[in-house]
Amino acid sequence: MTLLKQGLVLAALSLPSLLTAQNLDSAQILKPTPDSWPLYHGDYSGMRHSKLTQITPQNVHELTLAWAFQTNQAADIKSSPLVVDGVLYFTVPDNIWAVDARSGQMLWHFNKPTTKGLHIGHRGVAMYKGWLYFVTPDAHLICLNAKDGTVRWDVVIADVSKGYWMTLAPLVVKNHVIVGVSGDFDNLTGYLRAVDPETGEEQWQWNATAPVGTPNSTTGGMTWMTGTYDPDLNLLYWGTGNPTPVLNGASRPGDNAYTCSIVAIHADTGKLAWGYSVSPHDTHDWDAVETPVLVDGDFHGKPRKMLMQSSRNGYFFVLDRTTGENLLTAPFGPTNWTLGIDEQGRPIPNPAKEPAPDGRLIAPDEGGMTNYRAPSFDPKTGLFVVDAHPSWSIYFAKQADGNYGWAGADYGLWGKGVIEAIDYQTGKIRWSHEVGHGGSGAGVLTTDAGVTFTGDAYGNVLALNTSNGKTLWHSGMGAPMQSSPITYELDGRQYVMTSSGGVLFAWALPHSSVPAGGAVTAAR
C-alpha cells in the first residue's frame, strides 16, 4: 500500500477480460506481430515501417474516425503508444492511460503529480512480461502492473536537484530496461543506464562524458531519446546530446568526444563498442539523439548492416553499424556552419560560425533540421522519410554569459516544415512535401502498401504517396500533431493512431470497406 499511495489509479469497476491476458515476452518483442506495437519504434530497428497493407493509396480516402480519446490534460501528447494484447498504453508527463485499442474505452489511468523536473514532454512506456516501465520528470523509473496500473517498484535514476529530468520511453532488451537522462541547463554528465526489470536494481551505466570538474573535459551528452538495438550484434545504438556549456565552446576545446554522437554499446555490459561524432565541438545545441535507424541491405552494391540518421545539425549520415565506418554524409537542407567534411565523414565546424557578441546568422536554427519526431525508412523504395525543418537563426555569446548552462542566446528568424524523402544511396532528396510555416512536430510512418502518414502545421493528419510525396488524404484534428504515428491490425481491421493536443485519434476504413478476413500480413 505504501507504493500505491505514491500514485492515483483510476480503474474501471470491473476490469475487462483483455487486461487479464497482458503479457509480453522477449520473443514477441523480437518479432512483433501485426496486432501489436510493443516498442517505442514498433520494433528494434527504428524503421517505423509496417507491413500492413489494408489501407492503400487507392482506398485511403475512405479513412474515417474509429474513435478518439480526450485526456483532459494541458500537455500535448508526444508519446508513441504501445499496443499489446488489444490494449493501448500512452502517456503525457506524470500520466499513463490504458485504453481498449478497438474502442478507445479507458481501462485505467495512473497519475503521479510531480512538481520538480522539466515537464517538456513524454515519449511513452516500455513493457516486459506483465509490467510497464515509466519515467517521470523528477527522474524516477516506475514499474507498474499492466493489468491495473498499480506500482510494483519506484527507483531514482538521476538527481533532479542537480538539474536532471527524464522524458524518454525506456527500451527493453532481454533482461535489461535501458533508460537515458535529460538536462541542458546545468553542466552535468549524460549517461545511459540498464536496470533489472524485476527489481529496479542498476545493472550497468555508461557515461557519455567525464565526471563534472574533470580538467580539460566537457560535460553534457544527454541520452534523452529512445535508441535502437541489433540482436545479432547485441549492440545498442543511442544518440547523445550537446556538450555543456551549450553555446560557449571556449572552455571545452577539441571535439568533445561522445557528445552530439551516435554510440554503439554492448547490451549486457554497457561497454562502448564505438562512437561517431556527427557534430564535433557543437556550439548550437544540435543534439544527435534523432533515431539511429537500422537497415540491412546493399550500399553501392555491397551488403551492409547500416545505421542511418537524419541529424539535427542538417546532415544525413549512413554508417556501417558493425564498426561505425562512415559510408555517406550529405546535407538534407540549408546548412552554413561547416568548412567541409573530414576524412571520417564528419562536418568540420567553422569557428567563424560560433556564437559571438555581435551575432551569427546560422542555418539550421536551434531546433534543428529535425528533432525528436521520428523518421521512417521504407525498404521497398529505399527512401528515408523525415519531417525536416529548413530554418535560420541568430546566435549570440559574450563573456558575460559565462561558461555554465546555456551560456549565450539564440533567436529563430524563419523556418518551415517539409516532409523529405532521402535516397540513402546518394543522400539526394527524391521528393519533398511542404507542410507549412514552422512545421508540425509530427513523426513519420510508412507502410508496405505505399502510404506515408504524418502531419502538417495546420493540424491535419496527412496520408502521402510514398513513391512521390503527393497527398492522398488529409483530415483536420484541431492542432498540429506532436507525436509519431503508429499502426496495428485487430479483428482484420487496420488502425492508424495519431494525436492532436491532448487527444488521441484512431483512424480506420469503414467496416463496409474492410475485406472479409482483413488483409493481415505475416509480420511487422
> What's 214's domain CATH number?
2.140.10.10
What are the start-end ranges of the H helices in 423-481? none
Q: Is residue 382 part of a domain?
A: yes
Residues 6+ apart with CB under 8 A from 2: none
Distance CA 477, CA 487 (A): 18
Distance CA 44, CA 423 (A): 22
Q: 90 is in which domain, residue-wise?
A: 26-508
pLDDT for residue 517: 59
| 472: its cell numbers | 492522398
In total, how many domains does the chain have?
A: 1
Residues 6+ apart with CB under 8 A from 25: 129
Distance CA 329, CA 334 (A): 14
Q: Is residue 516 part of a domain?
A: no
> What phi and psi, each to the nearest 5 degrees, are found at residue 206?
-110, 125
Q: Is residue 6 part of a domain?
A: no
pLDDT for residue 184: 78
Judged by DSSP in three states, 461 sits in strand
Distance CA 169, CA 200 (A): 16
pLDDT for residue 21: 66
Distance CA 403, CA 103 (A): 53
Question: Which burial class, exposed, middle or buried, applies to 313 when counting CB atoms under 10 A from its CB (0-12, 13-18, 19+)?
Answer: buried
Closest C-alpha among 409, 392, 412, 410 to residue 400: 409
Question: Which burial class, exposed, middle or buried, applies to 398 when counting CB atoms under 10 A from its CB (0-12, 13-18, 19+)?
Answer: middle
Query: What is each CA distance from 249 to 242, 314, 393, in whole angstroms?
Result: 11, 20, 18
Within 168-278, strands assigned E span: 171-173, 176-180, 191-195, 202-207, 219-220, 228-230, 235-239, 243-244, 261-266, 272-277
Q: Is residue 118 part of a domain?
A: yes
Cβ atoms < 10 Å from Cβ of 492: 14
Q: Is residue 3 part of a domain?
A: no
Walk across the sheet containing 82-84 and list its strands.
8-11, 106-111, 95-100, 87-92, 82-84
Cα angle value 505/507/511 (rounded, 5°) = 140
| 53: its cell numbers | 497493407
Distance CA 263, CA 259 (A): 10
pLDDT for residue 35: 96
Instruction: pLDDT tens for the chain, 524 residues: list them.
Output: 344 444 445 444 445 566 766 789 999 999 999 999 999 999 999 999 999 999 999 999 999 999 999 999 999 999 999 999 999 999 999 999 999 999 999 999 999 998 999 999 999 999 999 999 999 999 999 999 999 999 999 999 999 999 999 999 999 999 999 999 999 788 999 999 999 999 999 999 999 999 988 888 899 999 999 999 999 999 999 999 999 999 999 989 999 999 999 999 999 999 999 999 999 999 999 999 999 999 999 999 999 999 999 999 999 999 999 999 999 999 999 999 999 999 999 999 999 999 999 999 999 999 999 999 999 999 999 999 999 999 999 999 998 898 889 999 999 999 999 999 999 999 999 999 999 998 889 999 999 999 999 999 999 999 999 999 999 999 999 999 999 999 999 999 999 999 999 999 999 999 988 876 555 444 44
Quick one: residue 283, left, alpha or beta (phi over 0 = left, psi -120 to 50 = alpha)? alpha
pLDDT for residue 13: 42
Place of cell 520528470: 137
Q: Is residue 413 part of a domain?
A: yes
Half-sphere exposure of 504 (CA within 13 A, CB side): 32
**Does 485 sit behind a cis peptide bond, omega within 30 degrees of 0 on the bond before it?**
no
Place of cell 561505425: 324
Give yes or no for a contact between 295 and 268, defined as CB atoms under 8 angstroms apart: no
Give yes or no for a contact between 30 and 231, defined as CB atoms under 8 angstroms apart: yes
Residues 6+ apart with CB under 8 A from 213: none
Distance CA 283, CA 406 (A): 10
CA 55 to chain centre: 25
Judged by DSSP in three states, 433 sits in strand
Q: How far apart are the first and last CA of the chain?
A: 40
Place of cell 532488451: 173
Q: Is residue 205 part of a domain?
A: yes
For residue 419, the cross-strand partners are 387, 433
Query: What is each CA distance from 455 to 93, 225, 462, 478, 497, in whole angstroms?
Result: 22, 21, 5, 11, 12
Distance CA 33, CA 210 (A): 41
Q: Which amino acid is at 41?
A: H
pLDDT for residue 399: 87
The secondary structure of 59-91 as a DSSP string is TGGG-EEEEEEE---SSPP-PPPEEETTEEEEE
Give yes or no for a contact between 386 and 422, defined as CB atoms under 8 angstroms apart: yes
Q: Is residue 518 part of a domain?
A: no
Distance CA 35, CA 520 (A): 9
